[in-house]
Amino acid sequence: MSRADFDLQAYLEGRAPAVEAALSRAVDASLPLLPADVADALRHGVTGGGKRLRPILCVTAWEACGGAERDAAYDLAASLEMIHAYSLMHDDLPCMDDAELRRGRPTTHRVHGQDRTMRAGAALIPAAARQARRSAESLGCDPSRAAAVARRVMEAAGAGGMVGGQWLDLEGEGQALDADALDVLHRKKTGALLVASLVVGAMAAEADETRVGALEEYGRAIGLAFQVADDILDATQDASVLGKNPSDAALDKSTYVSLHGLDEARRRASELASTARRRLREGGVGAPALDALADYVVERRN
């Protein structure tokens, strides 16, 4: 099937209930150890909508590498969204972006307070590691592969990935970053988790190195494309479309738009989507959904 024939909307809608159900299971499993007020904050942060791109990438990579659609694959996928949710909860706090709105709703700390939001976010990190390991075991991975899957999620979340990228982002506020520094920041802050979403799906399916490598390269390209698109949206859309307040200019951040201008940023995003698709082809991963997702990442409206 060509990419033009592939109905991504139907694909995303078809998978959404399984993604949401897995997230609900993951939240329920995380709650027993938490005080009720922290549990409420955690639920707000995880189950409040969003595109669910990371779980979709994970499940799609799992299937592209021969895995059958089943609940445990969605449970693995939920571990990536748990990390993503915690990062948004913490990123929105007054000490960072100080955001009022996320996914069209008040941010977690606006509803549940800073203290509970910090604790709920922190609780999600080990919960995601446990979720990744247990679900990989349910998918048939032996203990060492399941541990490797959980490690990959945590590495992407950590100082060499998302946390390191956020650190660079905070340090870079008010400074003019050059193109290379901006790429390094976003490869870590946004890209690492997107790449890991694909790679752990492939690892759990016991894909060979060529396929894992192709998915990794695809992920690196769509990770940057995603961020370029994010900067374009931040510069061109308002809160009613974005579901959050545009913040790059207010926080004096370097962006692909401030560095290259809108037209060049658009050109770069679409070139990165083409690179992503080419990497898949070269690695022998035939997945119309992943081809279509590369376009979606740059053409999305929020």
Contact with ligand GRG (CB under 6 A) among 3, 51, 110, 278: 51
Say if CB 108 and CB 49 are below 8 A apart: no
Question: Please, which contacts does 158-165 make with residues 24 or more away whose CB atoms are closer than 8 Å?
Answer: 160/188, 160/192, 161/188, 161/192, 161/193, 161/196, 162/83, 162/87, 162/188, 162/189, 162/190, 162/192, 162/193, 164/188, 164/189, 165/189, 165/190, 165/191, 165/192
Judged by DSSP in three states, 86 sits in helix
Tell me how far the alpha carbon of residue 155 is from its chain's centroid.
14
Helix (H) or strand (E) holding 101: strand 101-102
| Cβ closest to ligand GRG, residue 146 vs residue 154 | 154
Of 12-20, 59-67, 82-90, 256-264: span binding ligand GRG (CB under 6 A): 82-90
**53 lines the binding site for ligand GRG (CB under 6 A):** yes
Contact with ligand GRG (CB under 6 A) among 167, 172, 245, 274: 167
Of 158-166, 198-206, 262-270, 285-293: span binding ligand GRG (CB under 6 A): 158-166
- Cα end-to-end distance, the chain, whole Å: 27
| Cβ closest to ligand GRG, residue 11 vs residue 167 | 167
Judged by DSSP in three states, 50 sits in coil
CA distance 81 to 87: 10
| Cβ closest to ligand GRG, residue 50 vs residue 67 | 50
Contact with ligand GRG (CB under 6 A) among 60, 107, 166, 254: 166
**151 lines the binding site for ligand GRG (CB under 6 A):** no
Say if CB 107 and CB 99 are below 8 A apart: yes
| Cβ closest to ligand GRG, residue 8 vs residue 147 | 8
182-209: string of b/e by CB count within 10 Å (b at 16+)? beebbbbbbbbbbbbbbbbbbbbbbbee
Taking the complex as a whole, the smallest distance from the CB of residue 244 to ligand GRG amounts, in Å, to 8
| Cβ closest to ligand GRG, residue 39 vs residue 224 | 224
| Cβ closest to ligand GRG, residue 152 vs residue 189 | 189
Judged by DSSP in three states, 221 sits in helix
Here's the x/- map for ligand GRG, 211-250, by CB under 6 A: it reads as -------------------x--------------------
Taking the complex as a whole, the smallest distance from the CB of residue 166 to ligand GRG amounts, in Å, to 4
Judged by DSSP in three states, 300 sits in coil
**60 lines the binding site for ligand GRG (CB under 6 A):** no
Say if CB 94 and CB 114 are below 8 A apart: yes
Interacting positions 99-128 with ligand GRG (CB under 6 A): 103
**57 lines the binding site for ligand GRG (CB under 6 A):** no
Judged by DSSP in three states, 105 sits in strand
**50 lines the binding site for ligand GRG (CB under 6 A):** yes
Question: Under the rule (CB under 6 A), what is the footprint of ligand GRG?
Answer: 50-51, 53, 84, 87-88, 90-91, 103, 162-163, 166-167, 189-190, 230
